Amino acid sequence: MFAPPSVLLVKTAASKSNAKNEPGSVAAPPRTAQKSISTPWGAAILVEELRLPQQAGDRRFASLVQLLELPKGNRLVRFAYATDGVARRGPVTLRERDLTRLREALEQHPQLKEMLGL
């Protein structure tokens, strides 16, 4: 299966996936509504998102690491960037200090941390 360079496809058992996302479970982030995101494999829901604010000169943007889930339980990790709060396609570039901040921020996003093996 072809995966665009900004998306990592990881197949998981649906039962394992559902157990982690039950409301009130320790690993489940607070969710009020499920956001649907279009992927090459179909619509996916946003399970968890890490937003890393960045600045280059006077330009402000954020790099995103998103944990997505397809209806059959397959999970995806998407890397994107956002301007004005809207996710954009394109390459994501992180400086060394951004990677340090990313690793620190992953402590607040246990499911993403687990999927990335960090």
Model confidence pLDDT, tens digit, residues 60-81: 999 999 999 999 999 999 999 9
Specify the pLDDT at position 24. 42
Q: What is the pLDDT of residue 33?
A: 62
Handedness of CA 30, 31, 37, 41 (dihedral sign): positive
Q: What is the pLDDT of residue 16?
A: 40
pTM above 0.75, yes or no: no
Give the pLDDT score at 31: 45
* CA gap 26, 45 in Å, rounded: 19
Q: Compute the Cα dihedral for 35, 50, 93, 69 and give only its sign.
A: negative
Bridge partners, residue 82, by sequence: 62, 87
Name the stretches of the chain with pLDDT < 50.
1-31
Query: Which pLDDT score, from 0 to 100, does residue 4 have?
Result: 44
Give the contacts of 10 (CB within 8 A, at least 6 positions apart). 74, 75, 76, 77, 115
